[in-house]
Amino acid sequence: MNVHEYQAKQILEAHGVNVQRGEVAATSDEAEAIARQLNCQLYIVKAQIHAGGRGKGGGVKLAKSPEEVREHADAILGMQLVTPQTGPAGKLVRKVLVAEASDIERELYLGMVIDRTDSRLVLMGSEEGGVDIEEVAATRPEKILKQTIDPAIGLPAFQARQLAFDLNIPRELVNKAADLMIGLYNAFVDSDCSLAEINPLAITKTDDGQDIVALDAKLNFDDNALWEHEEIGAMRDPNEEDARELEAGKSGLSYISLDGNIGCMVNGAGLAMATMDLIQLHGGEPANFLDVGGGATTETVTHAFRLILADEKVQAVLVNIFGGIMQCDVIANGIIEAVKQVDLTVPLVVRLEGTNVELGKQILADSGLNLIAADGLSEAAQKAVQAVAN
Ligand code: ADP
Ligand code: MG
């Protein structure tokens, strides 16, 4: 699950990360009122969407007065913001963050990720922060500095300070930078994040010297841990999420929508991955990943059909079920029941394997349903690809 920048900043701030004063607004009236309250020299108005690269797309604007904040908010709210991360359709902006702006001297990058090879958290930093960190990672990976965190110890101050030194953070700010890194680490662990990024982490000029502050923040959370974090679950913005993925989550189905046209209904995540691979091997494109789970019932199968068919891209459905604990005859009856309930207008390819498979196939053959039976995974994928091509 993702949250907006303003929400990520609330979480980080609660863990001691230095962020600028600011509030979120849904109207230009609210934006102006927030600016009046902040009462500073320079303001920044930032579109709140679940995508980065907003600056490039015109979703981040500086303002010198509350009146100018209102003008920018007026322009940004309601715009269909296109950034390198939104795809060509862009995203509708419903909220803006109005914050104090800073006099930036340097923009750094700070991130916390899970290194799956090492099974450890890694704190990463780069002096080349700002908007193009992906490009830095791809072309100049040596510019990204790392500290691997021992899970038994956590992030000790010396490691954070080391990264601060490596990033050439001014001496007077090193301890403050280290505290900020430890705050990021604590936020990551306490909220069960899967990714945390501060880009840019800015060295700013202030009246009495310099400061270090998070100008942007991005947090992703581990969905499997959300049950422990009601307050984070409450930050979910349904407008930003795929409606079908949300619905699937409610009914216990693992569903991820994709760009292709072959709807897939499979039991077991591994089989679902293999099915998607084989569809691609045979020249097709899956419309989704869908794992109906080991104990699929007629209800879950019906629900899954509804989800798949609600996607207007779908031109054929491939059902690939391995009856292990579930028996194939039960599954066959479930499919027949489900197909009767939903309005199936596209070809349906079914591959069954496992316990009572012969009985299951017989039930499907006798059902009078217009379906394409397949033996084996590869043949099933091939038939689904053909069905779309016809
Ligand atoms: P995105 O990553 O979506 O483009 P950012 O929040 O990183 O959005 O903003 C883009 C750029 O805007 C930053 O790299 C920074 O130069 C500038 N910026 C963002 N917040 C502030 C701020 N509070 N004060 C001054 N400049 C800012
Ligand atoms: Mg950014």
201 close to 214: Cβ distance less than 8 angstroms: yes
Contact partners, residue 250, CB within 8 Å, separation at least 6: none
Please give the Cα distance from 188 to 181 (Å, whole number): 10
- In the chain, % of residues over pLDDT 90: 75
Ligand nearest to the CA of 106: 1
pLDDT in tens, 164-202: 999 999 999 999 999 999 999 999 999 999 999 999 999
So what's the pLDDT on residue 333? 87
Least confident stretch, 3-12, 43-52, 220-229, 305-314:
305-314
Please give the Cα distance from 203 to 211 (Å, whole number): 6
Q: How many helices (H) and strands (E) does the chain have?
A: 14, 18
349 close to 383: Cβ distance less than 8 angstroms: yes
DSSP for 138-165, written as a single string: HH-GGGEEEEEEBTTTB--HHHHHHHHH
So what's the pLDDT on residue 22? 97
Residue 52 CA to ligand 2 centre (angstroms)? 6
Nearest to 372 by CA among 302, 319, 312: 319
So what's the pLDDT on residue 94? 97
From the list 6, 43, 109, 185, the catalytic residue is: 109
Nearest to 120 by CA among 153, 92, 91: 153
User: Closest ligand 1 atom, CA of 46?
Assistant: 6
Residue 16 CA to ligand 1 centre (angstroms)? 20
pLDDT for residue 69 is more than 90: yes
So what's the pLDDT on residue 167? 97
Higher pLDDT, 133 or 79: 79
pLDDT in tens, 255-311: 998 989 999 999 889 999 999 999 999 999 999 999 988 777 778 888 888 889 888
User: Closest ligand 1 atom, CA of 55?
Assistant: 4
So what's the pLDDT on residue 213? 98
Question: Tokens 């601060």 appear where?
Answer: 164
Provide mean pLDDT across the span 96-125: 96
Residue 131 CA to ligand 1 centre (angstroms)? 8
So what's the pLDDT on residue 334? 83
User: Closest ligand 1 atom, CA of 218?
Assistant: 2
Residue list, CB under 5 A from ion ligand 2: 199, 216
Query: Atom 24 in ligand 1: which residue has the minimum CA distance?
Result: 101
pLDDT for residue 326 is more than 80: no
pLDDT for residue 88 is more than 90: no
CA atoms lying within 13 Å on the CB side of residue 169: 32
pLDDT in tens, 36-62: 999 999 999 999 999 999 999 999 999
Token reading at 378: 């590869």
Provide mean pLDDT across the span 115-137: 91
Ligand nearest to the CA of 20: 1
Residue 390 CA to ligand 2 centre (angstroms)? 46
Higher pLDDT, 317 or 137: 317
**Pocket residue to mutate for ligand 1, from 97, 131, 201, 206, most atoms within 8 A of Cβ:** 131
So what's the pLDDT on residue 312? 87
pLDDT for residue 325 is more than 80: no
- The reported pTM is 0.80
At residue 147 the predicted structure's pLDDT band, cuts being 50, 70 and 90, is very high
So what's the pLDDT on residue 189? 97
pLDDT for residue 218 is more than 80: yes
Residue 171 CA to ligand 1 centre (angstroms)? 24
109 is catalytic: yes
So what's the pLDDT on residue 337? 86
Please give the Cα distance from 292 to 272 (Å, whole number): 9
From the list 32, 107, 197, 353, the catalytic residue is: 197
pLDDT in tens, 336-357: 888 888 888 899 999 999 999 9
Contact partners, residue 368, CB within 8 Å, separation at least 6: none
Provide mean pLDDT across the span 216-220: 97
What lines the ligand 1 site, CB under 6 Å?
Answer: 20, 44, 46, 52-55, 60, 99, 101-102, 104, 107, 130-131, 199-200, 215-216
User: Closest ligand 1 atom, CA of 216?
Assistant: 6
Ligand nearest to the CA of 38: 1
Helix (H, G, I), strand (E, B) or coil at 285: coil
Nearest to 92 by CA among 81, 104, 108: 81
DSSP for 61-104, written as a single string: EEESSHHHHHHHHHHHTT-EE--TTT-TT-EE---EEEEE--EE
**Pocket residue to mutate for ligand 1, from 76, 211, 216, 219, most atoms within 8 A of Cβ:** 216
Higher pLDDT, 131 or 130: 130
CA atoms lying within 13 Å on the CB side of residue 39: 1
Residue 101 CA to ligand 1 centre (angstroms)? 9
Q: What is the mean pLDDT of the chain?
A: 93
At residue 99 the predicted structure's pLDDT band, cuts being 50, 70 and 90, is very high
